[in-house]
Amino acid sequence: MLEMLKQPWPWYVAGTIIGLIVPALLLLGNKHLGISANLRHACAACFPAGIKFFKYEWKKEIWNFFFVGGILAGAIIAAQLLANPNPVEIDPRLASELAGYGVTDHENLLPKELFSVESLFTVRGLIMLIGGGFIVGFGARYAGGCTSGHAIMGLSDLQLPSLIATVMFMVGGFIMANFILPVILSL
């Protein structure tokens, strides 16, 4: 059984499980799926006075902290129990392209040439980790939610703003992966 769990799940199994979370949250507690709202709740808990944006009854949303905590705990447990000891398998053409940018570590999901303390203090690291983190945080706030909130919850509620946001996430991802990321990786 454990060996079966170590294999990647088919998209239709994982998608169905994620899809069932939406009605479960709605039916069991009239709650909405989303992760980025937790950043606002955390700020409201840490800075209760001072900034008007954080003055609201954040304790009503404390279930969201447990939801994210469950995601983190599940990831840690899965990484310990279900970890595949083999290196990450990627297409040889992608490996060749990445090698041209100096990315040759394929032992883990996050290559150490991009995601390490040493790489943080490079131009490429600052742009990708600090700049990228700021853009993602700002974008999630500006769009009124993150990809999980819009693409999973918003689309299931048939919300037009979520459809527009999801399309823009996809367009932005395509532009980033095909045009901007190669420039950053070549730095």
Domain ranges in the chain are: 1-83, 114-187
Percent of the chain with pLDDT over 90: 19
What is the model's pLDDT at position 163?
94
Determine contact, residues 22/149, Cβ cutoff 8 Å.
Answer: no
CA distance 126 to 140: 20
Give 50-57's long-range contacts (Cβ < 8 A, gap of 24+): none
Determine contact, residues 92/82, Cβ cutoff 8 Å.
Answer: no
pLDDT tens per residue across span 140-183: 888 888 888 888 888 888 899 999 999 999 999 999 999 998 99
What is the model's pLDDT at position 180?
92
What is the model's pLDDT at position 173?
92
82: pLDDT strictly greater than 80: no
CA distance 111 to 119: 10
The reported pTM is 0.74
pLDDT tens per residue across span 109-152: 888 888 888 888 889 888 988 898 888 888 888 888 888 888 88
What is the model's pLDDT at position 86?
76
What is the model's pLDDT at position 99?
92
pLDDT tens per residue across span 34-51: 788 888 888 888 887 778
